[in-house]
Chains A and B, each alone.
Chain A
Amino acid sequence: MIKVNGLYHSYSNDENYAVKNVEFEISKGEVFGFLGPSGAGKSTTQGVLTGLLPLQKGEVEVVGYNIRHPKREMFNKIGVSFEQSNVYGKLTALENLEFYRKLFDVETMNSMDLLKWVGLDHVANKKAGEFSKGMKHRLTFIRSMLNNPELWFLDEPTTGLDPAIASQIKDIVKEKNKQGATVFLTTHNMYVADELCHRVAFIIDGEIKLIDSPRNLKLQHGEKFVVVEHLENDVIKKEQLSLIIDRDKARLNEIISTGKIEIMHTKEATLEEIFIKVTGRGLK
Chain B
Amino acid sequence: MRRILNIVRRDIKSGTRDWLVIYLAGAPILLALILKMLIPSVGDSTLNVAVYEDTPPAVVTYLETYAKVIKVDDLEERVLRMDDVFGVVIDDERIEIVTQGNEMEGTVDLLKTIIGRYDQRTIDLPVEVEFTDIGWVMSPMKIEGANLMIIFNTILGGMLILLNLVEEKMSNTISAINVTPTKRKEFIVGKGLLGFVLTLYGCAAVVIILGFEGINYAMLLVSVFAISFIGAIIGFSIGVTSDEPIAAIASMKIVFVPVLASIFGAIYLPTKWIFILYWSPFYWAYDVIKDILLVQATWGQVFMNSGIILVITALVFVGLRRRIQNGLS
Contact = CB atoms under 8 A, between A and B. Distances in A.
B180 interface: yes
Contact of A103 (B13, B18, B171, B182): B182
B276 to A, nearest CB: 41
Contacts of B13: 90-91, 95
Given A91-B10, A99-B6, A99-B10, A86 B179 contact: no
A213 interface: no
Interface string B148-180: 000000000000000000010001110111111
B10 A103 contact: no
B329 A84 contact: no
Given A95-B13, A99-B6, A103-B182, A88 B167 contact: yes
A74 B178 CA distance: 11
B181 A104 contact: yes
Nearest to A95: B13
Interface residues on B, range: 20 to 34
A78 B179 CA distance: 8
- Most chain A CB neighbours (cut-off 10 Å) among B2, B18, B181, B182: B181
Nearest to A153: B179
- Most chain B CB neighbours (cut-off 10 Å) among A82, A90, A127: A90
Given A88-B167, A95-B13, A99-B10, A75 B179 contact: yes
A227 to B, nearest CB: 45
- Most chain B CB neighbours (cut-off 10 Å) among A50, A51, A82, A86: A86
A87 B179 contact: no
A143 B172 CA distance: 14
B181 A73 contact: yes
Interface in A52-105: 52, 72-76, 78-80, 82, 84, 86-91, 95, 99-100, 102-105
A86 B180 contact: no
A45 to B, nearest CB: 15
B3 interface: yes
Nearest to A103: B180
A160 to B, nearest CB: 16
B17 interface: yes
B175 A86 contact: yes
A82 B175 contact: yes
A95 B6 CA distance: 11
Contact of A102 (B2, B173, B183): B2
A86 B171 contact: yes
B180 to A, nearest CB: 4
- Most chain B CB neighbours (cut-off 10 Å) among A73, A80, A103, A143: A103
B14 interface: yes
Contacts of B176: 80, 82, 86-87, 100, 140, 143
A88 to B, nearest CB: 6
Interface string B283-306: 000000000000000000000000
A152 to B, nearest CB: 11
Interface string B1-44: 01100100010011001100000000000000000000000000
Interface residues of A, number: 29
Contact of B181 (A52, A88, A105, A143): A105
A143 B180 CA distance: 11
B87 to A, nearest CB: 60
A48 to B, nearest CB: 12
A139 B179 CA distance: 16
A259 B180 CA distance: 64
Contacts of B177: 103
Contacts of A78: 179
Contacts of B171: 86-89
A133 to B, nearest CB: 14
A76 B167 contact: no
A208 B177 CA distance: 30
Interface in A150-199: none
Given A86-B173, A86-B176, A88-B171, A102 B18 contact: no
Contacts of B173: 86-88
A149 to B, nearest CB: 10
Interface in A120-136: 127
Contact of B175 (A52, A89, A91, A103): A52
A26 to B, nearest CB: 18
A105 B182 CA distance: 10
Interface of B: 2-3, 6, 10, 13-14, 17-18, 167, 171-173, 175-183, 329
Which 8 pairs show the lowest CB-CB distances between chains A and B? Answer: A103-B180, A86-B172, A80-B179, A90-B17, A72-B181, A102-B6, A90-B14, A75-B181
12 contacts: A51-B178, A72-B182, A72-B183, A80-B179, A82-B176, A88-B171, A89-B171, A90-B13, A100-B180, A102-B2, A102-B6, A103-B177
Interface of A: 50-52, 72-76, 78-80, 82, 84, 86-91, 95, 99-100, 102-105, 127, 140, 143
Given A52-B329, A75-B179, 20 more contacts: A51-B179, A52-B175, A52-B179, A73-B181, A74-B181, A79-B179, A80-B176, A80-B179, A82-B172, A82-B176, A88-B14, A88-B171, A89-B171, A91-B14, A100-B176, A103-B6, A103-B180, A103-B182, A104-B180, A127-B17
